[in-house]
Amino acid sequence: MTQRIPHVRRQPMGMLLHTIAVFLVGVRFAQDVYLRLTDFGGGKISIYIEPFTSEQASVDAVTRVRNIEAVIENDLEYSLYFDILADTAEFADADEGVILQAHETDGQLKTVLLDYASKEQIAVQEYHIGNELRATAHTISDDIIEQLTGEKGIASTKIVFSYRTSAGKELAMVDYDGYNFTRLTNNGRFNLFPAWAPDQNRILFSAHSWDRLNIYLFDLSKRDISIISSFRGLNFAPCWSPDGTKICLCLTKDGNAEIYLLDLKTEKLNRLTYNKAIDTSPAFSPNSREITFVSDRAGNPQIYVMDMHGGNVRRLTFHGNYNTSPAWSPRGDIIAYVSREPDNSQQVYVTDPYDFEPVRLTSKGNNEEPSFSPDGLHIVFSSNRSGTYELYTMNWDGSRLRKLSDGVTATAPDWSPISD
Amino acid sequence: MNYIKKTIPLIIILVLFFGCPKRQTEPEVVEEIPVEEEIPFEEVQLPEPEPEPELPPFVLETVFFDFDKSDIRVDGAEILQRNAEMLQLYPYMSITLEGHCCEIGTAEYNLALGERRALATREYLIMLGISADRMSTISYGEEKPLDPLNLERNRRCEFVAR
């Protein structure tokens, strides 16, 4: 399991030249750009970031561009596609690599990517430096990643979650690197299960009213909340189909928790599960054809997969007697979930959705609620390893743990899609 | 005015009779206070008002459950028996049954489990003769722990008057 990154095929040579060629003719065939990324530590693109410069000599102007540089460096390192070199002398070992240069003139930052060996320009871009330096830096990072790898970067993505207050739980979001804490709700209720729409502009979530738990839709651009589902009992655990036309949700109106599919255009509601057991936590496969979910139909909670009409149900987990919280990788080839261990701790596992082979990723404290980054290379989850529940990210293989939240008790993270 | 003129001598007499001796006995009164027998604070009893309706205060006990279970335990059955008797004493009282869980497992699964506990409790009370339309259910899953350090205390169904 630790030996492969799915859908990123090994290409023995010429990756960079190939990428450059694709870029120069101005047509990008994402599926034709391959990385030599076989494990972490080898096969990455070597990049040297020259200190960013400014036309103005003032300390402020220089600090500004150097701050942008620092954010970009962190983004590129985080992306797993790059080896950041401290000096051009390190290129001696690498037969290929790129240099990033940037110079600011009148609030415009011009970036240049150079092929180290040929000194040819690979890409030149100009950016307006506004007030939001971090956002500008993330945009530049994503462009660099796409220009050099053909893959969409995740530097501009966000993570939404619930955090505890004295009255209940409110929703907030942060940038993928933990900066820009932004409060979304402030109603003193329990606001739970936030789920990003594929357009990165809307969030589904559940909140209690006095006699039931409803599902609402938060429109971020309109700053508007509308009600989506308010049947008797519980309306919860919403998730979007990857094409954004349907939502999967959990309702208890028929006596116990069942999974339903709601078509947002026709408003037609289809019941998918018929079982006396609890059926909950639905999550779509990236091709929208299948749904993974939790059911205790076998006596205790286990992970199952069904097609989007509720048929062809198969059980996925067979080890442990308490497996919950499935999340399907956007690359399609792994499902992350949480398993209760014999010592009663809860740990994040990943498994192949067709050939069950679980691999444990966490070990310290309780680790719950995994959610994949849109490139499938990272996982955000909640953990109480520090004594209270906080958010962390790690690579898809469990390496490189980073703490995300700062000082708030946070749960239920959901990683946003990539905005277009 | 006549009235005031008549009462002035009376006031003077009263002052002469009671005003002077009182001033003399004042120190004695001050001494007497600590001499009075000390009644422990807990034993001081407030005068009871006439018990008009002979009803016990409306209190319903919380029912507890086993991990990942919603079956009413033997101790839960006894509690629900007492709760049912209480509800019969207050026939116009409606209640909300709140199902709760410990933090193990996902919030989603625990919401469903909490509702299952509330519904199991409701079924049991219906069996004991409590009308279904007096009871509504809600689940808070793992969101409102009673005691964050004691998981067993959080697997419960609470009763809230509405």
Span A343-354, pLDDT tens digits:
989 999 999 988
Residue range A70-84, pLDDT digits in tens: 999 999 999 999 999
Closest by Cβ to A250, choosing from B108, B136, B140: B108
Q: How far apart are the first and last CA of chain A?
A: 31
pLDDT at res. A41: 46
CA dihedral A403→A404→A408→A412, nearest 10 degrees, is -110
Residue A47 CA to residue A100 CA, distance in Å, equals: 7
Tell whether the model's pLDDT for residue A177 goes beyond 70. yes
Partner residue opposite B109 with nearest CB, options A233, A252, A294: A294
Q: Looking at chain B from residue 123 to 162, which residues have their Cβ under 8 Å from any Cβ of chain A?
A: 136-140, 143
Cα A374 from Cα A32, distance rounded (Å): 20
Binning pLDDT at 50, 70 and 90, where does residue B2 land?
A: low
pTM confidence score: 0.82
Mean pLDDT within B73-100: 95
Which residues of chain A approach chain B closer than 8 Å at the C-beta? 168-169, 190, 192-193, 208, 210-213, 233-234, 236-237, 250, 252, 255-257, 278, 280-281, 294, 296, 300-301, 322, 324-325, 338, 340, 344, 346, 368-369, 411-412
Domain borders along chain A are 13-18+154-415, 37-149
pLDDT (0 to 100) of residue B58: 92
Distances (CA, A) of A349 to A1, A243, A409, B55: 12, 27, 23, 56
First-to-final CA distance of chain B? 63
The beta-carbon neighbor of A190 closest among B68, B96, B143 is: B143
- Say if residue B21's pLDDT is above 60: no
Fold of the domain spanning A13-18+154-415:
Neuraminidase (2.120.10)
Q: Confirm if A220 and A236 have CB atoms less than 8 A apart.
A: no
Regarding the domain with residue range A37-149, which homologous superfamily does it belong to in the CATH classification? TolB, N-terminal domain (3.40.50.10070)
The pLDDT of residue B82 is 96
pLDDT of A416: 97
Measured distance CA(A248)–CA(A185) in Å, rounded? 23
Above 70 in pLDDT, residue A28? no
Q: Which of A280, A302, A349, A367 to mutate to test the interface with B (most CBs of B within 10 A)?
A: A280
Collapsing DSSP states into helix, strand and coil, what is residue A64?
helix
For residue B51, the model assigns a pLDDT of: 59
**pLDDT exceeds 90 at position A228:** yes
Which pLDDT value is given to residue A209?
Answer: 87
Q: Is A52's pLDDT higher than 70?
A: yes
Residues in Cβ contact with B117 at an 8 Å cutoff, skipping those fewer than 6 apart: B65, B70, B99, B100, B101, B139, B155, B156, B157
